[in-house]
Amino acid sequence: METQIKLENVSSVQKKFIVTIPAGKVNQVIERKFAEAQKTAKIKGFRPGHVPISMVKQYYKEEVQQNAINSLINETYSQALKAHPLRIIGEPQIEGPNEKEKLLLSEGKDFSYVAMVEVVPEVDPKDYKGLSIEKPSAEVTADDIEKLKKNLLDRKAEITPVTRAAKVGDFVDFKYDGKVKTDKGMEAQPNLSGDRSAEIGSGQLIPEFEKNIVGLKAGESKTFKMTYAKDFTDANLAGKDAEYTIDVREVKEKILPAFTEELVKEFGYESLADFDKKSKEMLTKNKAEESDNILRNNMIEALIAKNEIEVPQGLVYSQMRALADDYSNELKRYGFNDQMVQSAIVSQLQDFKKRAETQVRAGILLDAISKKEKIEPKASDIEAEMIKMATNFDVDVKTLKDRFEKNPRDQSNFEYRVREELTIQMILGAAKIKK
């Protein structure tokens, strides 16, 4: 009797291998493992390698059984993958033949186990040609120019303390103590107290909180109640009633300089006319990139809406970790400590999961479309993308090529991204784009 390998579909992303190994094979492996154990067995009164096999079986039974189980599973799981080539994610979950049953091995008996695996689903994409997609305008407006001017002026602004009441545009230094309503009443929360400086009207503060600062002078205090939005980013506060006491320490006015020839020269422009020309060029480039990114996101959303597929949770969690790592690094660059970073990440988990699921779905669909359309990057495509990448990272192309030669996996991932980009361009080329 040969080893029997049966594959069952649990879902499009989960498969089950049921493996049965005949008793003869089981006996061979057990005997081999006892022989291996005998070579290193240490029992008082015997030299290493000279312990009688009967005593090895007595003293090393459990260890040999586990080694034999591992050996049998490793060998036959490899056979299962060769017989049924699947795009498996992560490691298999090994169980007994019945759900959650412990693995048992006995001489003279067949050995069976179940390997649950998660896989990338086989997808037959549809309706990806002729998608209706919106693309925002990339036209540079007078408001865009004014915002850029204000950003430059802000860098040269003077911040001066004032005795009047705070208004929109002012900087306010204040102390705050917050409480949240619980079953026990209003309870103080350590993360809702501290010192802060913020520009009123800049979006740094919650609007309901901010409006209670407007009208206060330095030295004045105010206690007020507010309710957090139900979709507030911190799930521990979402929808909760809160009470805050704020003590204003200082109100500072921002005084902007005039936008003159002398000022723009300080920022590297030759004149006001040079500023107008270069700023419009820069804004045109930035808005075109922003418009293209929104178009691509809209295309992905439309593609997903046309193709409902399951996603492997292993890939989703992996992508969530990548998003959380990027977010963590960004917060640390802004001076957040570990506790603050951890709290912020926890509050964003649902958003990370939603974004990760979208990214994984998009990746699976684009991969399936590229295979269906037989899209493969040519040498010229790879070279062009490599030049673009080298420019973005400010390195020469030869350095990139040398890196890829030393790391075939990086080369493979790069070519995969090039193929994905070609697929995206094919879909966009066949789309109905509404501007």
Ranges of each domain in the chain: 4-119, 158-255, 268-434
CATH H-level, domain 268-434: superfamily = Trigger factor, C-terminal domain (1.10.3120.10)
Give the type of residue at 395: V
Say what the pLDDT of residue 99 is.
Answer: 64
CB atoms within 10 A of CB 356: 22
Contact 238, 229 (CB under 8 A): yes
The CATH architecture that domain 4-119 belongs to is 2-Layer Sandwich (3.30)
The β-bridge partners of 175 are 195, 247
Task: Give the three-class secondary structure for 188.
Answer: strand
The β-bridge partners of 244 are 178, 224
Each residue's pLDDT, cut to its tens digit, for the chain (435 residues) gives 789 999 999 999 999 999 999 999 999 999 999 898 888 888 888 887 788 888 888 888 889 999 999 999 999 999 999 999 899 999 999 998 876 667 888 888 999 999 999 999 999 999 999 999 999 999 999 999 999 999 999 999 999 999 999 999 999 999 999 999 988 888 887 778 889 999 999 888 999 999 999 999 999 999 999 999 988 877 778 899 999 999 999 999 999 999 999 999 999 999 999 999 999 999 999 999 999 999 999 999 999 999 999 999 999 999 999 999 999 999 888 778 888 888 888 888 989 999 999 999 999 999 999 999 999 999 999 999 999 988 888 888 888 888 888 898 888 999 999 999 999 999 999 999 998
Q: Extract the tokens encoding 206.
A: 């919650």
Q: CA of 18: how far to CAs of 12, 39, 79, 104, 185, in Å?
A: 17, 34, 12, 15, 57
Beta pairing class for 185-199 and 132-134: unpaired
Q: Extract the tokens encoding 361.
A: 């779905």
Q: CA of 300: how far to CAs of 69, 293, 318, 360, 432, in Å?
A: 46, 11, 20, 11, 14
Residue 352 host element (H or E): helix 349-372
Say what the pLDDT of residue 100 is.
Answer: 64
Task: Give the three-class secondary structure for 146.
Answer: helix
Q: In which order are the strands placed within the sheet that holds 14-21?
A: 4-9, 14-21, 111-119, 88-95
What are all long-range contacts of 227-233, with beta carbons under 8 Å and residues at least 24 apart? 233/347, 233/348, 233/351
Say what the pLDDT of residue 33 is.
Answer: 92
| Separation of alpha carbons 432 and 148, rounded Å | 33
- CA-wise closest residue to 346 among 236, 228, 201: 236
| Separation of alpha carbons 384 and 379, rounded Å | 9
408-429 helix and 349-372 helix, angle to the nearest 10 degrees: 80
The whole-model pTM stands at: 0.75
Say what the pLDDT of residue 242 is.
Answer: 94
Helix spans in 186-271 (H): 207-210, 261-266
SS percent in the chain: helix, strand, coil, step 5: 50, 20, 30
Assigned fold of 158-255: Chitinase A; domain 3 (3.10.50)
Contacts of 324 by beta carbon, 8 Å cutoff, 6+ apart:
345, 348, 352
Q: How many angstroms separate the most distant Cα atoms in the chain?
A: 98
By the 10 Å C-beta count (0-12 exposed, 13-18 middle, 19+ buried), 266 is classed as: exposed
Beta pairing class for 111-119 and 185-199: unpaired
Place of tokens 């990114």: 293
What are all long-range contacts of 47-56, with beta carbons under 8 Å and residues at least 24 apart? none
Q: CA of 367: how far to CAs of 240, 297, 376, 424, in Å?
A: 44, 17, 11, 10
Q: Same CATH fold, 268-434 and 4-119?
A: no
Contacts of 304 by beta carbon, 8 Å cutoff, 6+ apart:
358, 361, 362, 365
